[in-house]
Amino acid sequence: MSAQHEVGRRRTFAIISHPDAGKTTLTEKLLLYGGVIQLAGAVKAKRGRASAVSDWMEMERERGISITTSVLAFPYHGLKLNLLDTPGHADFSEDTYRTLHAVDGAVMLLDCAKGVESQTRKLFRVCRQRSIPIFTFVNKLDRPGRDAFELVGEVESVLGIGVYPITWPIFRSGTFRGVYHRLRKRVYLFDKEHANSSSGSGAERPPVEVTGIDDPLLREALDDRGYDQLRHDADLLDAAGDGFHREKFLAGELSPMFFGSAVNNFGLEAFLETFCELMPPPGPRESDQGPIDPAGSEFSGFVFKIQANMDKAHRDRVAFVRICSGKLVKGMKVHHVRSGRDLRLANPTQFLARDRSTVEESYAGDVVGLHDTGTFEIGDTLTGGSSFAFEGIPSFAPEHFRRLALVDPMRRKQFSTGIEQLAQEGTVQLYRPPAGRGGDLVLGALGQLQFEVVKYRLEAEYGVEVRVEAVPWQLARWASRVDGAPLAPEELAGAVEGQVVLDVRDRLVVLFDREWALRTAEKFHPELLFAETASGVVVRAA
């Protein structure tokens, strides 16, 4: 098969949602339809039940939440789907932000009773900034929820994006019985007995009856009220707006909407088949030398995630690379743009959560894992020899700060190794004093739960027990000169009322204990820039 054919088969996407919208459940049901698994795990593992396939970290399985992005590659109807299952909890949103730079589209999952929630709005904005196509899946139709028209209106008004419902929910006596596919003019009815039986928990694909909207038997299946409501809704939808415009969808301006119940698999097959038809293959990626064509012959990709200790037995560290062009072949030599060095890729791997296998070749759109001895950083570009760099992945200013106190001083070496690795993979932001200056290591995070993850992983993976202690800092800002000239730590220390530190990539940061101190620094030093977001381009401290 040609490289262009292989690229055309790839579909690389993420699922975004507010916590508890059913994201991990939907992820596993897609794997079920892809034939990768035969039994979907429970989001919250109970005795005698499998834990969620996409949650590989021990703490995730214990708590029933997703803490880190999982990479899941699976086939479906001749395509290769690369699903990046992101954390839904707001405390881990920075991992999700990074992951959204590696996808070509996203599925926005909504709870039918709650609609658009706060975390959904934040993640949607990231997708919108990148102009990537966004699907909307309204979940939990097996439970009482809001009117479907009301949900359409809320997405349009709150998120500012057009909505085209492709499937529409069908009810009988208030019970969710199926969906009407507006583009195909087909009705998908779900087996009521399957839904009500103990076996209808979504472990298997449910029996589905497919018919047309004009089928006389449909009225009998839905009763008069349900059938009349379906016809009324279908006519109203057709009269209410324009047809589906693929160009607007690809530009991120129009979202196709689907309805269903992930826990029962209802509506998933209609969604997945249409998703595969509409979801675009990998497109050009922006670089500092212009767009890079995915069908180009030269290999290129970028690191969007680093994960340590996926395999406890080997204490390994894996850099996740999104391939953007060309073909990656096992054993090939690539150019590491930031360092200027050439590297050989001995054993690139693909993933199904924590399970991995060596791949002989991969193409644009694929995500591969590379063994990392500390060479890679998030945002690094790899090429077949050229020196262009892809657009950087930004860092976000943390909202919470702590210091870690080592319980056993004899474990300091293990502590230093562990906290450095966790900071490099983005679990938490680490700030240290410049060389020659005393002071504590300070941790920054977008959410409080990140500190618990750090404490847990230091003990479980590095054998280091720590106490999490308070610090006075409330704000962090990356500091630089407006004109781009070098800025030394000692110059900055004399100009601001705050603690001058370096982040894990040696960028200058100022920690402020109150908003007033930041505003004063900005007022009296207009030659300096105090940024809430740091670009992926590394500017080292002078």
With left for phi above 0 and alpha for psi between -120 and 50, is residue 64 left, alpha or beta? left
pTM of the model: 0.81
Domain boundary among 333, 359, 383: 383
Q: Reduced to 3 states, what is the DSSP secondary structure of residue 220?
A: helix
Instruction: Give the confidence band of 190 by pLDDT, cuts at 50, 70, 90.
Output: confident
Q: What is the pLDDT of residues 14-42, one digit of tens each?
A: 998 888 888 888 888 888 888 777 655 53
Domain of residue 325, residue span? 300-383
Question: What are the start-end ranges of the H helices in 241-364?
Answer: 246-250, 268-278
Query: Where do we find the tokens 């991990």?
Result: 24
Q: What is the pLDDT of residues 462-487, one digit of tens each?
A: 999 999 999 999 999 999 999 999 99
Task: With a cut of 50, say whether residue 64 has pLDDT above it.
Answer: no
Residue 250 pLDDT:
96
Let me know whether 251 and 329 are in one domain.
no
- Please report how the helices 93-100 and 118-129 are oriented relative to each other, as an axis angle in degrees rounded to 10: 30
Let me know whether 313 and 258 are in one domain.
no
Let me know whether 345 and 404 are in one domain.
no
The better pLDDT of the pair 186, 209 is held by 186
Q: Give CA–CA dist 49/407, Å, rounded.
A: 37
Q: What is the pLDDT of residues 95-150, one digit of tens each?
A: 777 888 999 999 999 999 999 988 788 788 878 888 899 999 999 999 999 999 99
Residue 462: both structure tokens together: 């590095």
Contacts of 307 (CB under 8 A, 6+ apart): 68, 317, 318, 320, 425
Domain boundary among 337, 359, 383: 383
The better pLDDT of the pair 411, 310 is held by 411
Number of domains in the chain: 3
Structural domain includes residue 481: yes
Domain boundary among 340, 360, 383: 383
Average pLDDT rounded to a whole number, residues 326-341? 96
Instruction: Give the confidence band of 541 by pLDDT, cuts at 50, 70, 90.
Output: very low
The better pLDDT of the pair 311, 178 is held by 178
Average pLDDT rounded to a whole number, residues 347-373? 86
Q: What is the pLDDT of residues 249-307, one digit of tens each?
A: 999 999 999 999 999 889 999 999 999 999 999 999 999 999 999 999 999 999 998 88
Residue 50 pLDDT:
47
Residue 297 pLDDT:
94
Contact yes or no for 383/441 (Cβ under 8 A):
no
% of the chain with per-residue pLDDT over 70: 85
Contact yes or no for 363/339 (Cβ under 8 A):
no
Residue 542 pLDDT:
46
Contact yes or no for 370/416 (Cβ under 8 A):
no
Let me know whether 415 and 273 are in one domain.
no
Helix H, strand E, coil C: the string for 437-465 is: CCCCCEEEECCCHHHHHHHHHHHHHHCCC
The CATH number assigned to the domain holding 356 equals 3.40.50.300
Residue 537 pLDDT:
45
